[in-house]
Amino acid sequence: MMERKIPAPAVNPENRPFFDAAANGKLVLKFCNACEQYHHYPRSHCPHCFSSDTEWLDAKGSGTIYTCSVLRRGVPVRYCIAYVTLEEGVSMLTNIVDCDLDTVKIGMKVKVVFKPTDGGPPVPMFTPA
Amino acid sequence: MSIKGKACLAGAYEHPTRKAENKSVAQLHAEVAKGALDDAGLTKQDVDGYFCAGDAPGLGPLSMADYMGLKLRHLDSTDTGGTSYLIHVAHAAQAIALGKCNVALVTLAGRPRSEGHSGTQPRTFAANLPDAPFEAPYGIVTTNSYAMVAMRHMHEFGTTSEQLAWVKVAASHHAQHNPHAMLREVVTVQEVLDSPMVADPLHRMDCCVVSDGGGALVVTRPEIAKSLAGQMQRPLVKLIGAGEASKGQAGGNLSLTTSGAAWSGAAAFAEAGVKPADIQYVSIYDSFTITVVVQLEDLGFCKKGEGGRFVAGGNLISGSGKLPFNTDGGGLCNNHPGNRGGMTKVIEAVRQLRGEAHPQVQVKNCGLALAQGTGGQLGTRHGSATLIMERG
């Protein structure tokens, strides 16, 4: 089967630690020390309380599918986009991979895997746990 | 201070083209501007305020203002995607109320069909977008973004594909009477379900058309509109309430089944001093069938989660349903110029209030109408705007 080419993320000074961690097989999240909440995607300033006292923490790498959809038309290889709600409470946009896409459902338990991109760092995706 | 009754929609024009292979985008802007000014009974020299969105050629409104030879004292290029034009009408009313302009022109034009765009292609990401590095690798496009909203709505509330299909069926019943509509054939629920699956659970017929074209509006001080309406012997269309909002991923605390319409709608209803039950006609942004269901709930036409049941059985069909919607055929069947459907939502509401909709779909004695838009993507981040208009 043809593999889908995954576009490389645009790495910048603010998000670089996320993709450096991904290159080492780790999923990290931003945590705000002021309001003690996680957020995603990661920012320098917490989007909840706007404190700049945010730090990178290792995530457990497991979660539940919040929603998903398989794109079937207009693309050379079909793929499943999803939001996964991590154990830490935040939801992240991702792909569900390495499984029969027709069996992917909301509520399914998933775990992180890292997939190479086209000329950039790997990105976190999820597969049934 | 309120904009209630401070401004009127004096001119409206929808470009008849759906494929403009031999025209430039700037030319289409000029054509719709001319059309709306003619409709209002005004000329270019009367315009002192101009509004376009970020997709207009050039830096903000500068190139278009220069191209059309406008002499302006108020400019605004607010861009919230397809809903920009509703926000432009609201901002024009604010500017008029403050004495910053008398005659505001709003234009939209685009050629996505001639340029080969489709909803299964990725957006073009600007290099410094903060969200793109966390979205582009996963192949987020317009269709799968809205499909995730539909999937979650089905999961939370038991909404079905059959219920969503009724939105398209109602639009097709209206489009059959519109000679300019791209898709004029009346379709059934079964035909929607039998159309190819694009992005689970959205079928091809759950998606709007891709069309070239555009539209324009003229918003004026009430005295000017009154005098023009008198000359033209037609009813006045007054803006009585407006609301705007943006909604995103909330730092990862997602709630995809509620849109910004919950906020923009509440603000517009409060300003207008009316309630959903008073509204006789609605234009609801219909990028996809699910978009309509979510917005109807958020505007308060039914409870959250009951949108599927609300639209089923033809409830949105003019003449037989309780809430006639998108009587031009909407984005689902008629037109989605420049991938930005907010403009045509306002135009059809103006036609309804003037009594100028097609006789087969004209709402009897239509005195109060609502136009609702969403722009961007419901599945990531979007702008929402609501306008409430009254026949005067």
Instruction: Give the model's pLDDT for residue B1.
Output: 83
For CA atoms B172, A68, B303, B270, the dihedral sign is negative
Q: Which CATH number fits domain B7-116+212-238: 3.40.50.620, 3.40.50.1000, 3.30.1330.10, 3.40.47.10?
A: 3.40.47.10
The beta strand positions in B293-361, using DSSP E, are none
Q: Measure the CA–CA gap between B366 and B323, rounded to whole angstroms.
A: 12
pLDDT more than 90, % of chain B: 96
Return mean pLDDT, chain B. Answer: 97
Residue B125 has pLDDT above 60, yes or no: yes
Q: Which residue of B144, B157, B257, B378 is the best one to mutate when testing the A interface, meaning the one whose CB has the most A CBs within 10 A? A: B144
User: Smallest CA–CA separation between B292 and chain A, in Å?
Assistant: 19
Residues of B in contact with A70 (CB under 8 A): 199-200
For B107, left (φ over 0), alpha (ψ -120 to 50), or beta? Answer: beta
Asked if residue B126 has pLDDT above 80, the reply is no
Confidence class of residue B85 from pLDDT cuts 50, 70 and 90? very high
The rounded distance, in Å, linking the Cα atoms of A88 and A47 is 16
Closest CA to B293 of B341, B318, B261: B261
Rounded average pLDDT over B18-35: 97
Q: Is the pLDDT of residue A1 over 60?
A: no
Burial class of residue B115 in the structure, from the number of CB atoms within 10 Å of its CB (0-12 exposed, 13-18 middle, 19+ buried)? exposed
Of B130, B135, B200, the CB nearest to A93: B135
Tell me which chain A residues have a C-beta less than 8 angstroms from the C-beta of B152.
66-67, 106
Is A38 in contact with A90 (CB distance < 8 Å)?
Answer: yes
Chain B (128-187) residues lying within 8 Å, Cβ to Cβ, of chain A: 128-141, 143-145, 147-152, 155
Q: Quick check: B197 contacting A, CB < 8 Å?
A: yes
ipTM score for this prediction: 0.98
pLDDT above 60 (res B140): yes
Task: Answer for the pair B111, B20: CB distance below 8 angstroms, yes or no.
Answer: yes
Query: Mean pLDDT, to the nearest integer, of B313-338?
Result: 97
Residue from B253, B258, B378, B381 to probe the interface with A (highest A Cβ count within 10 Å) = B253
Exposed e or buried b per residue across B299-312, where buried means at least 16 C-beta atoms within 10 angstroms of its C-beta: bbbbeeeebbbbbb
Beta strands in B26-153 (DSSP E): 49-51, 74-76, 103-110
A38 CB neighbours in chain B (<8 A) are: 252
Per DSSP, B136 falls in state G
pLDDT value at position B118? 83
Place of tokens 């004292």: B73
Mean pLDDT, rounded, for B264-268: 98
CATH number corresponding to B132-210+240-391: 3.40.47.10
CA distance B360 to B232: 23
Task: Write down the domain spans for chain B.
Answer: 7-116+212-238, 132-210+240-391
**Domains of chain A (ranges plus CATH)?**
16-128 (2.40.50.840)
Comparing B7-116+212-238 with B132-210+240-391, is the CATH topology the same?
yes
User: What number is the average pLDDT over the span A83-92?
Assistant: 98
Inter-chain CB proximity A10 and B252 less than 8 Å: no
